[in-house]
Amino acid sequence: MDKLKILGFLLLFLMCSSELFGKPASLRFVVLPFENFTQNPVASEVLRRITLQKLVELDVDVVEIGEVDRILVNEDMVNVSFIGKNEFVRIANLLQADYIVKGAVLSFTLERNWNISYPSVTVNLALIEGKTGKMVSVVVETEGGPSLAQVYLGTEPEPLNEVAKGVVKRALYKLLRAVRR
């Protein structure tokens, strides 16, 4: 009887293990060029590459940026702002992808208030199902403002890219929950 309980517990543990069932490793993702609503001309490309890097760190199969850009140019879809359901389905079919990540950078700057500089990053990510072109999930994630250590101890702010990595990582965790359901 004890062996049966241990075996049952072990089986339950394996089924619930995030290493085996928590990651959508067999799914293929496309990361489209991000829209840029900031004054920083490179913000969209920086956050797109960070998104790609974070997806790879999560063991997600991602189509290379160059391959995505080539398909967009060949299909005359250079401006991703005006891509609709049918185009999303076509992109997913051409790149053999299950999901498309579309993003926008709303803030990517070092702000300055009260003689304190601090990073401000806001990103909007949308997850689109490749088969239907329908939006599955949308997430807006932001971080900004001085830390207590900056205000009271005068410490240096965290680098803008490191803050962006944290913001994108949190946004992707929220987006990938929709895939796991």
Write down the residue that tokens 């990582």 correspond to. 169
d(CA 43, CA 168): 13
pLDDT tens sequence for the chain (181 residues): 555 555 455 444 545 544 444 544 478 999 999 999 999 999 999 999 999 999 999 888 999 999 999 988 888 887 888 888 899 999 999 999 999 999 999 988 877 777 767 788 899 999 999 999 899 999 999 887 665 555 555 666 667 788 889 989 999 999 988 777 6
Domains and CATH numbers, the chain: 24-180 (3.40.50.10610)
Burial class (CB in 10 A: 0-12, 13-18, 19+), 1: exposed
What pLDDT, on a 0 to 100 scale, did the predictor assign at position 123? 93
Query: 7 by DSSP, 3-state: which?
Result: helix
The predicted model scores a pTM of 0.77
